Every structure is written in C-alpha cells, then in structure tokens.
Amino acid sequence: MFWLSFALVSMPFYAASEKTKIHFSEKDIKIDTSTIVIHKLPVDFKKKYTDKEFVYEFKSAQKNAWDRFKEWLASVFNNIFNFTDSKASIHFVEVMLKIIAFLIVIFVIYLITKSILNKEGQWIFGKNSDKKIIDYSDIEKNIHIVDFKKLVQTTIQNGENRLCIRYYYLWVLKSMATKNIIEWDIEKTNSDYLYEINNQELKNSFSYLSYLYNYIWYGEFDLDEATFEKAKFAFEKTLKHIGNE
C-alpha cells in the first residue's frame, strides 16, 4: 500500500521533468576562434627576483676560521675590559685589527723605501759604484760611507788626476776620523784638523798633503804625470801610516 501511494505521488514530478528536459546538438556548441598569443618568459627572468626582498628562506652565515679567531680575541678582551655586550667586544677587536693592519702597511712601505734608498746610496757611494759623475757636496756630507778606494781607481782609469787628488784628500780625512784622530765636520778647515792631530809625524804629513791638495785642486794649471805620481805616493804613504795607528 505504501509503495502504491509513493508511486502515485512521484508520477507528477517525473512527468514534469520529462516535459522540461532540453536536448543539445553539436550545432549548439560554440567554438572559440580567437587567436591565442603565447608569451614566453625571458631566459634571465630569474635575475629580477634575486634581491633580498624575494628571499623567503634565510640561512645563517657559516663562520670561517677568521671569524672564530675574532670571536676568540673578543672573548679574551671581554674578560679583561668587561664590555657591556659581545657586540662591543667584537667591534673593539675589528677596530684594533684594522689599526694593526694599517701599521703593518706603513712599516712595509718604510722598509721598501729604506731598501730603495740604501740601494741607490750604494750605486753612488758603495763598492759596486760604476757612476762617474758624483756631486762633490754629497760626498763630503756622507764621507763615512763613501768608498774612496773605488773612486780613486775610477778617476785614475778615466785620467781625472786632479779629481783623484781630491778623493785622496777626503780619504785621508775619513781615515783619521775613523781612528778618532780628528772629529769630522764639514764646516772645519784644514787648519782645524791640523790642530786636532797630536802625532807630530802625522801632523807634518797632513800639513804637506794639505799643501798638495790646495795646490793641485784649486790651482788653474794642467797636472803633469810626474807631479801626480809624487802626490799619489805621498797620500798612499800617509793612508798606510794612519792604518797602522
């Protein structure tokens, strides 16, 4: 009985749905004929998104040996000076290391400059000097480092006998200053040096050499070979005498 009643009630609804059913055919389907434009991404498009604004995963920087060394120094100085926090001690270490690096650079520059100057000094005054033209005033100012033996040999080879006698005379002054017989001063005269010499034999020799030097160096005449050899012998004899003092 129940099923009969249910069938009678459902029949109107089913009949209505059959009447309202819509049938579609293939002609009713609309086809999209519009042109499709394909947009390709540039090859390097990822470079536009490498800024920190597009980084969503942050990785902590790995500490290297240098960072660990700075942290160790910071902890040492923190124990000594009791900084307020670790950042202050790290900052102190970084400033200190920069100052040390700056001082090292300055020191290296100083050593390089000193080495260059010393090398140039040897070119002018040293034993390896092959330089012919030398400023006389520079020689007198640096009499203790001048290699007069080399200069004398060079001037003799070049036939510069008058200049050779000058070098011989300065060589004698250097030798006496080295032996503390005189006190070298560029402002002193030959008479001043003569007064300082206590050994009478050396004083007489130096007086004669001073005469030869003034006569040959300041004299306006050609120095003949005989006079040069005589003066050369006198200077070398005195130099030998000073060496035995």
Chunked in runs of 10, what are the mean pLDDT values of the chain (245 residues)?
A: 49 51 67 75 71 65 77 80 76 86 91 70 42 58 86 91 92 92 88 91 92 86 86 93 75
Residue 172 has a pLDDT of 93
Asked if 170 and 184 count as a contact pair (C-beta separation under 8 A), the reply is no
Torsion region of 82: left, alpha or beta (phi above 0 gives left; psi -120 to 50 gives alpha): left
Residue 170 has a pLDDT of 92
* Count of CA atoms in the C-beta half-sphere (13 A) of 41: 6
Residue 11 has a pLDDT of 52
> Within 10 Å of residue 182's Cβ, how many Cβ atoms?
21
Residue 60 has a pLDDT of 62
Residue 125 has a pLDDT of 43
Asked if 112 and 119 count as a contact pair (C-beta separation under 8 A), the reply is no
Residue 57 has a pLDDT of 64
Asked if 89 and 77 count as a contact pair (C-beta separation under 8 A), the reply is yes
Closest CA to 223 of 234, 212, 233: 212
Asked if 193 and 225 count as a contact pair (C-beta separation under 8 A), the reply is no
Q: State the amino acid at position 155 in one-letter form.
A: T
Q: DSSP secondary-structure letter at 182? A: S
Residue length, the chain? 245
Q: Could you tell me the sign of the dihedral formed by the alpha carbons of 14, 15, 20, 26, in that order?
A: positive
Residue 171 has a pLDDT of 93
Residue 149 Cα distances to 51, 129, 228, angstroms: 73, 11, 17
Distance from C-alpha of 242 to C-alpha of 245, rounded to nearest angstrom: 5
Q: Could you tell me the sign of the dihedral formed by the alpha carbons of 137, 141, 143, 145, in that order?
A: negative
